[in-house]
């Protein structure tokens, strides 16, 4: 597994988009450098797509959906299953692309990102043949019937972030294709290579040309052009709350459908009766995996003072034992942050917290380059107004806040004291406490005795500043449809 024979190289020697089932030369000549976050090296370039490229891709998607020969539900199911099989068949290659382009430890990319991407597509393949409308009894005399049709919403524009590039693409392609929509996907400029490879793999999987188009480029150019294109019926966005606000506002002006899956600052509550070993393992995995760059990471630890010391010791021990380093070393558990900008951002939050009285139980130190590595860090006594406790850090930094009470209203108030509402976790063996907290926590997902992302069969999404709309489950596919009501008198 040498760095010089990297499977993504061919895709970024010559920057291109993927439009209407084939590679497309970009309209303009500008490019964006692709770098390996583990070394900071430039390894190639992607095309900096512009409004002309977006227009071409949207045109291809519109043509695909307008073809008189319909792409049947069973055929869409088979295409998604074939793409999942293609991911399995190219698993090692895709893992190495994620490793090099996204700074992921090879063991993470091959054990999580790649198989999860195939599983996501398989899950949504099943939905293609299971969508349906309903028939109701009309309250009127005479012969009449009424029913609903569930139609694809139209051409969709999809914008994804850099933290789980291949999985992010699968989360967007799966439900859109299941629902019968053609799509234009704009991957993050930091991590476009696996999406380009996935698009290339679709060619042998039975996707009619134009259903899947990929335009690479910067958010402010390619992304904004996609949001503003009148041929796009819906935008599905995953990323920061700041960008999500802009996109939702732009879609509102155009009356475009939009779902925004945004950031989080998810609390994890640990009650005195919790299984501390299991809680420590789950919390450490949730906040440190992928170098903390996970929207649902358990980043605010609210722990009962009676067990705080014992729990923090356990988490610190796990953090201290994690192997950080070369992403191509199979034993490495923690890779770099995605970019120099992100590393500085993370370090800034930690420095700000330490300067206002926080204590580093572990980590908190600066690491030398090359590569954008950050130490797994646990902070305690973080000032209530410190940015580290209020904002999404998107790094391997856990902020611990001990509490004394056992009153569920008071505990929930602490947990809910955040603009975000993506997920909330609680550890307890008491059913009444578990249900009482589930009722009180303001979050799209509440998990008891677990942390992190849930099951594909259940909807996921946010409340408050974490956005709106749901992905996964029936709701995630229905988000790509529009209901049409039909009545017939006879």
List, by residue number, the catalytic residues.
Answer: 261, 295
The answer to whether residue 36 forms part of the interface with ligand NAI (CB under 6 A) is no
- Please select the residue that binds Mg ion; options are 17, 26, 81, 101, rule is CB under 5 A: 101
Q: DSSP 3-state assignment of 5?
A: coil
Judged by beta carbon, residue 110 or residue 299, the one nearer Mg ion is 110
CB of 318 to ligand NAI, least distance (A): 23
Stretch that binds Mg ion, among 96-104, 167-175, 255-263, 369-377 (CB under 5 A): 96-104
8 A C-beta contact, residue 446 and residue 418: no
The answer to whether residue 243 forms part of the interface with ligand NAI (CB under 6 A) is yes
Judged by beta carbon, residue 20 or residue 338, the one nearer Mg ion is 338
* The entry of ligand NAI, Mg ion, none that residue 163 binds, CB within 5 to 8 Å by partner kind: ligand NAI
Dihedral of the alpha carbons of 293, 450, 425, 351, in degrees to the nearest 10: -40
The answer to whether residue 113 forms part of the interface with Mg ion (CB under 5 A) is no
CB of 477 to ligand NAI, least distance (A): 20
Please state, in angstroms and rounded to a whole number, the distance separating the CA atoms of residues 413 and 408: 8
Q: DSSP 3-state assignment of 150?
A: strand
How many residues touch Mg ion under the rule CB under 5 A: the total is 2
* The entry of ligand NAI, Mg ion, none that residue 392 binds, CB within 5 to 8 Å by partner kind: ligand NAI
The answer to whether residue 189 forms part of the interface with ligand NAI (CB under 6 A) is yes
Judged by beta carbon, residue 124 or residue 171, the one nearer ligand NAI is 171
The answer to whether residue 228 forms part of the interface with ligand NAI (CB under 6 A) is no
Stretch that binds ligand NAI, among 90-98, 216-224, 442-450, 453-461 (CB under 6 A): 216-224
Q: Number of C-alpha atoms within 13 angstroms, CB side, residue 296?
A: 21
Q: How distant, in Å, are the alpha carbons of 4, 5, 100 from that of 39?
A: 13, 16, 9
Please state, in angstroms and rounded to a whole number, the distance separating the CA atoms of residues 304 and 282: 17
Looking at beta carbons, which residue is closest to ligand NAI? 219
Judged by beta carbon, residue 153 or residue 422, the one nearer ligand NAI is 422
Stretch that binds ligand NAI, among 49-57, 128-136, 240-248, 451-459 (CB under 6 A): 240-248
The answer to whether residue 295 forms part of the interface with ligand NAI (CB under 6 A) is yes
CB of 254 to ligand NAI, least distance (A): 13
Please state, in angstroms and rounded to a whole number, the distance separating the CA atoms of residues 103 and 100: 6
CB of 248 to ligand NAI, least distance (A): 11
The answer to whether residue 156 forms part of the interface with ligand NAI (CB under 6 A) is no
The answer to whether residue 223 forms part of the interface with ligand NAI (CB under 6 A) is yes
The answer to whether residue 392 forms part of the interface with ligand NAI (CB under 6 A) is yes
404-463: contacts with ligand NAI (CB under 6 A): none
Q: How distant, in Å, are the alpha carbons of 15, 17, 35, 55, 254 from that of 45?
A: 6, 12, 8, 22, 33
CB of 163 to ligand NAI, least distance (A): 5
The answer to whether residue 170 forms part of the interface with ligand NAI (CB under 6 A) is no
The answer to whether residue 245 forms part of the interface with ligand NAI (CB under 6 A) is no
Is the Cα torsion angle 259, 265, 271, 273 positive or negative in sign? positive
The answer to whether residue 337 forms part of the interface with ligand NAI (CB under 6 A) is no
- The backbone region for 180, taken as left when phi is positive above 0, alpha when psi lies in -120 to 50, beta otherwise, is left
8 A C-beta contact, residue 283 and residue 268: yes
CB of 191 to Mg ion, least distance (A): 5
The first and second tokens of residue 131, run together, are 């969508």
Alpha carbon 32 to chain centroid, angstroms: 22
How many residues touch ligand NAI under the rule CB under 6 A: the total is 26
Q: Within 10 A of 410 (CB to CB), how many other CB atoms are there?
A: 12
- Please select the residue that binds ligand NAI; options are 20, 60, 64, 159, rule is CB under 6 A: 159
The helix or strand, by DSSP H or E, that contains position 73, with its residue range, turns out to be helix 73-89
Stretch that binds ligand NAI, among 101-109, 153-161, 201-209, 434-442 (CB under 6 A): 153-161
The contact pattern for ligand NAI, residues 53-92, with x = CB under 6 A and - = no contact, is ----------------------------------------
8 A C-beta contact, residue 449 and residue 151: no
Q: DSSP 3-state assignment of 6?
A: coil
The answer to whether residue 227 forms part of the interface with ligand NAI (CB under 6 A) is yes
Nearest C-alpha neighbor of 223 from the set 267, 255, 192, 179: 192
The answer to whether residue 394 forms part of the interface with ligand NAI (CB under 6 A) is yes
What residues contact residue 304 under an 8 Å CB cut-off, 6+ apart?
Answer: 270, 271, 272, 402, 403, 404, 406
Q: DSSP 3-state assignment of 247?
A: helix
Q: In what order do the strands lie in the sheet with 298-304?
A: 359-362, 377-380, 397-403, 298-304, 266-270, 423-427, 445-448
Q: Are strands 359-362 and 377-380 parallel, antiparallel or unpaired?
A: antiparallel
Stretch that binds Mg ion, among 93-101, 232-240, 408-416, 467-475 (CB under 5 A): 93-101
- Please select the residue that binds ligand NAI; options are 75, 93, 200, 246, rule is CB under 6 A: 246
The first and second tokens of residue 373, run together, are 């590595």
Residues that bind Mg ion (CB under 5 A): 101, 190
Q: State the residues that interact with ligand NAI by CB under 6 A.
A: 159-161, 163, 186, 188-189, 218-220, 223-224, 227, 238-240, 243, 246-247, 262-263, 295, 342, 345, 392, 394
């Amino acid at each position: 597994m040498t760095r010089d024979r990297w499977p993504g190289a061919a895709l970024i020697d010559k920057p291109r988009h993927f439009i209407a089932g084939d590679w497309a030369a970009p309209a303009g000549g500008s490019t964006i450098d692709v770098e390996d976050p583990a070394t900071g090296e430039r390894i190639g370039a992607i095309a900096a797509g512009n409004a002309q490229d977006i227009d071409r891709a949207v045109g291809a998607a519109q043509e695909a959906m307008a073809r008189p020969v319909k792409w049947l539900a069973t055929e869409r199911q088979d295409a998604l299953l074939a793409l999942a099989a293609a991911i399995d068949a190219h698993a090692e290659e895709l893992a190495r692309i994620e490793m090099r382009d996204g700074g992921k430890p090879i063991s993470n990319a091959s054990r999580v990102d790649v198989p999860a991407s195939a599983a996501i597509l398989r899950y949504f393949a099943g939905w293609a043949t299971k969508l349906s409308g309903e028939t109701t009894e009309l309250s009127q005399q005479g012969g009449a019937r009424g029913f609903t049709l569930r139609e694809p919403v139209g051409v969709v524009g999809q914008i994804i972030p850099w933290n789980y590039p291949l999985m992010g693409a699968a989360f967007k392609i799966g439900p859109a294709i299941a629902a019968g929509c053609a799509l234009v996907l704009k991957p993050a400029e930091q991590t476009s290579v696996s999406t380009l490879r996935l698009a290339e793999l679709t060619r042998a999987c039975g996707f009619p040309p134009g259903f899947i188009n990929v335009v690479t480029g910067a958010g402010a150019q390619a992304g904004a052009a996609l949001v503003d294109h009148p041929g796009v019926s819906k935008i599905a966005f995953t990323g920061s709350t700041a960008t999500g606000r802009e996109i939702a506002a732009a879609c509102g002006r155009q009356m475009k459908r939009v779902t925004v899956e945004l950031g989080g600052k998810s609390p994890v509550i640990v009650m005195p009766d919790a299984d501390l070993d299991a809680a420590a393992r789950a919390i450490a995995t949730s906040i440190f995996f992928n170098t903390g760059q996970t929207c649902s990471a358990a980043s605010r630890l609210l722990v009962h003072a009676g067990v705080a010391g014992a729990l923090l010791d356990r988490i610190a021990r796990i953090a201290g034992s994690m192997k950080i380093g070369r992403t191509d070393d199979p034993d490495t558990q923690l890779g770099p942050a995605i970019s120099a900008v992100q590393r500085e951002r993370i370090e800034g939050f930690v420095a700000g917290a330490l300067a206002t009285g926080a204590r580093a139980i572990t980590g908190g130190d600066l690491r030398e380059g090359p590569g954008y590595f950050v130490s797994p860090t646990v902070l305690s006594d973080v000032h209530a107004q410190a940015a580290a406790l209020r904002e999404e850090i998107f790094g391997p930094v856990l902020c611990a806040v001990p509490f004394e009470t056992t009153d569920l209203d008071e505990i929930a108030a602490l947990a809910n004291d955040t603009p975000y509402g993506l997920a909330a976790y609680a550890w307890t063996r008491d059913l009444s406490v578990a249900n009482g907290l589930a009722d009180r926590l303001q979050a799209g997902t509440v998990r008891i005795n677990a942390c992190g992302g849930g099951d594909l069969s259940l909807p996921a999404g946010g409340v408050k500043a974490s956005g709106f709309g749901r992905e996964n489950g029936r709701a995630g596919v229905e988000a790509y449809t529009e209901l049409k009501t039909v009545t017939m008198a006879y």
